[in-house]
Amino acid sequence: MNQKTSEKDEAEELLKKNSAETSGNSGKQSDADKTAGSAGNTETKAEKEAANGADKVNAADAVNAADKASEASEAGRKPTREEELQAQVDEYKDKYLRLAADFDNFRKRSAKESGERAARATENFAIEVLDVVDNIDRALAADEKALREGVVQIQKVLAKILENHSISPIESKNAQFDPNKHEAIAYVPSDEKEGIIIDELIRGYTIGDKVLRCAKVAVSKGKEE
């Protein structure tokens, strides 16, 4: 009985020992596998990062190359018809704006010069008329005989002033009535044939070829029957 118990205890002891060795070996193998697996994962991650970095570099190089190719293409390509037309439109628009600005400046300059010429002409005419005023003042201050002489002198001075400005009297008496030069104030019977001016009431004047003022006249309507 005791011998069987001892053998049984030895067998159990041996079994526990073998089990412990097996467990230890298994644990060591598991740790080794973990270490190997961790190393493998680390290596795989590094490889992926390296691959990703290489891909990014290649992509950036590709973009730069594409940009350079595009710039070279833009620099060397022939412009389209639309671009040519747009360039012409821009050129014509620039010329138009310059021409419009030049014309506007010319218009303003011409208006200014015209105004200055008109002002000078008015001033010169006024100075000449003042001579007439002076003669009138002197005639009014003189006696009757001197008055007539003064009036005659005024008439001469005034006629000279008008002549200097291309202002001439319209010869009307005994002329054929012309509605462009004459204004009929009255139609009277006369020995003159119809349409002949028999009297000039107010003298008319021209300035150059233009009628400045029509003459007011009396016109014959022929003999009464």
pLDDT, tens digit, for every residue of 151-198? 888 888 888 888 888 889 998 999 999 999 999 999 999 989 999 999
Rg (CA), the chain: 62
The amino acid that residue 58 corresponds to is N
- Give the pLDDT score at 135: 78
CA-based angle 205:211:212, to the nearest 5?
60
CA distances from 173 to 125, 139, 192, 219, 224 (A): 29, 30, 12, 9, 21
Question: Taking the CB of residue 70, how many other CB atoms lie within 10 A of it?
Answer: 10
pLDDT band at 121, cuts 50/70/90? confident
CA–CA separation, 100 vs 94, rounded Å?
10
User: Is residue 12 scored above 70 in pLDDT?
Assistant: no
Domains of the chain from N-terminus onward: 79-165 (3.90.20.20), 167-225 (2.30.22.10)
User: Dihedral, CA atoms, 148, 153, 156, 161, nearest 10 degrees?
Assistant: -130
pLDDT, tens digit, for every residue of 188-220? 999 899 999 999 999 899 988 899 899 999 999
Q: Could you tell me the two tokens for 62?
A: 């590709």
First to last CA, the chain: 198
Q: Could you tell me the two tokens for 220?
A: 């014959």
CA–CA separation, 177 vs 216, rounded Å?
11
User: Is residue 51 scored above 70 in pLDDT?
Assistant: no
Question: Taking the CB of residue 185, how many other CB atoms lie within 10 A of it?
Answer: 14
